Amino acid sequence: MAKSRKVAEDLNFNNIVNLQFDRAAAQLKLPKGLLQQIRVCNSVYYVQFPVKFGNRMEIFQAWRAEHSQHRKPLKGGIRYSSMVDQDEVMALAALMTYKCAIVNVPFGGSKGGIKLRPRNYDAEHLEKITRRFTAELIKKNFIGPGINVPAPDYGTGEREMAWIADTYDAFFPGQLDNMACVTGKPVSQGGIHGRTEATGRGVVYALREVFRHADQVRGAGLSGGLEGKRVAVQGFGNVGYNTARILDEEDHAKIVAVGEWDGTVYDPKGIDIAALHRHRKRTRSITHFPGAKTLPDGKDCLEVDCDILIPAALENQITRDNAGRVKARIVAEAANGPMTPGAEEILAGKRVMVLPDIFMNSGGVTVSYFEWTKNLSHIRYGRMQKRIDESLRSSLIGATEHLVNEQFPEKVRRTLLRGVDEIDLVRSGLEEAMITAYREILDVFKRHRNVHDLRTAAFMVAIQKVAQAYMELGIFP
Ligand code: NAD
């Protein structure tokens, strides 16, 4: 008797991204060679370097992949995780190329990572490792304001970015643009207001725009806006926390579940995200949050009853094994590659709307672009115009009050008077990027009868733009 054998799903991240690329490329009338050039990763730097901790020496493995040099500098985060390998950084670098094209940010895609578990090292050790890796990147010309500009990713944040900037500055003393060698720095070190929350806020701006297109969300069985929608979030780090916080505070969505590596907290009445954040700070874990139920597995959050599921941790979380149990009507990919193609097929069969990573999490690189231009111009956004803006508003308010012979209530007056600051400009630029990107993707989706998912449409938008750059520039020599 023939046994039915289950074929294992290919979880190789690079293969998955290439498959997604091929599906989109098949819909485009572009030369084969050109498509191949867009698809391949241009170069990868692999290094093993030593770091001394007292009398002990440890060797670290690290990578920096440069996927596409069609625009310069190249841009992409640096990840600290025990799971980093060459395929992962190559896949993530490719996604960066497509992401930048989608939000019209003039960079090529790159990504890097060090294979380590940050929780196993204290700040002093992490600083040494980060500085040594930066030196390795400098040696091989894999970092520089006009060459390759890293940013935070999984396991890194503004602290690591400050160390990178300072190390670069030590190697090139006196060069004016040094601060633009990395983004995601603390505001006091050349960073920009709104970068830390940017990826999460971008996810929210994207969701708001998606819900403005009622015909699309109706297909997934939803209607109305974000208010009251039940949301589950996996990962309570930079992206997950900021997405959940903004959805909770500004959109009045109901965050019913949050998953972390050590468990899920669940409350169908909705979780107060600020309070959960304080609880995590105090206890170092989200589990056993008062009033909520603790489920044993971080992955449990993927299967709770909700309207919108936001994976914001790592790749390959929703696979063929658990996709059938996903109850959400929309999956908004805040993490890179959280879903396998097999899972996507299952969700498509259930008419679940999948909002792809290369669009959803592009808010981070968008604001990184603003930070980079700020560093090159050496002036804070809003510094020149804030007071003139306020003075013009004051004249307008005065003239209006004079005309109607009535005064605005004090609270309204204060709001109207406030001139724009850096944070307002950053949020405005981010919102514009996310709205424009979604409309471009939706337009391609609607114009191509053979395209049944937004991921393929998003890849088509990206490939078309990169192809255009190559066709205009030509190939050297
Ligand atoms: P982070 O390190 O700040 O947070 C990740 C969180 O996920 C951590 O709190 C970690 O404990 C948690 N986690 C780990 N394993 C888990 C599991 N099995 N279940 C649930 N939670 C788990 O990282 P981040 O910057 O928020 O990045 C998250 C994702 O978003 C990654 O895929 C990253 O590539 C992507 N991303 C980040 C940015 C950015 O600006 N930081 C930009 C674009 C995309």
Q: What is the pLDDT along the chain (477 residues), one digit of tens a residue?
A: 445 567 789 999 999 999 999 999 999 999 999 999 999 999 999 999 999 999 999 999 999 999 999 999 999 999 999 999 999 999 999 999 999 999 999 999 999 999 999 999 999 999 999 999 999 999 999 999 999 999 999 999 999 999 999 999 999 999 999 999 999 999 999 999 999 999 999 999 999 999 999 999 999 999 999 999 999 999 999 999 999 999 999 999 999 999 999 999 999 999 999 999 999 999 999 999 999 999 999 999 999 999 999 999 999 999 999 999 999 999 999 999 999 999 999 999 999 999 999 999 999 999 999 999 999 999 999 999 999 999 999 999 999 999 999 999 999 999 999 989 999 999 999 999 999 999 999 999 999 999 999 999 999 999 999 999 999 999 889
Q: Is 386 helix (H, G, I), strand (E, B) or coil?
A: helix
The CA angle 298-303-305, to the nearest 5 degrees, is 125
* 25 backbone φψ class: left, alpha, beta (φ>0; ψ -120 to 50): alpha
Q: Reduced to 3 states, what is the DSSP secondary structure of residue 239?
A: helix
Measured CA to CA in angstroms, residue 129 lies from 124, 358, 389 at distances of: 9, 30, 46
Out of 314, 360, 370, give the residue to mutate to test ligand 1, the one with the largest number of ligand atoms within 8 Å of its CB.
Answer: 314
- The residues that bridge with 76 in the sheet, in sequence order, are 150
433 near 104, Cβ under 8 Å? Answer: yes
* Angle between the N-to-C axes of helices 238-249 and 198-212, in degrees from 0 to 180, rounded to the nearest 10: 50
Roughly how many angstroms between the first and final C-alpha of the chain, as a whole number? 61
Q: Is 470:70 a contact under the CB 8 Å cutoff?
A: yes
Atom of ligand 1 nearest to the CA of 198: 40
Cβ neighbours of residue 254 under 8 Å, at least 6 residues apart? 228, 229, 230, 231, 269, 270
DSSP character at residue 187: G
Ligand 1 atom with the smallest distance to the CA of 184 is 40
One-letter identity of residue 404: V
CA gap 180, 178 in Å, rounded:
5
Which residues does ligand 1 sit against, CB inside 6 Å?
Answer: 152-155, 199, 234-240, 259-261, 298, 312-314, 334-336, 361, 364
Distance (angstroms) between ligand 1 centre and the Cα of 270 equals: 22
Residues identified as active-site = 111
Q: Report the C-alpha gap between 12 and 94 in whole angstroms.
A: 14
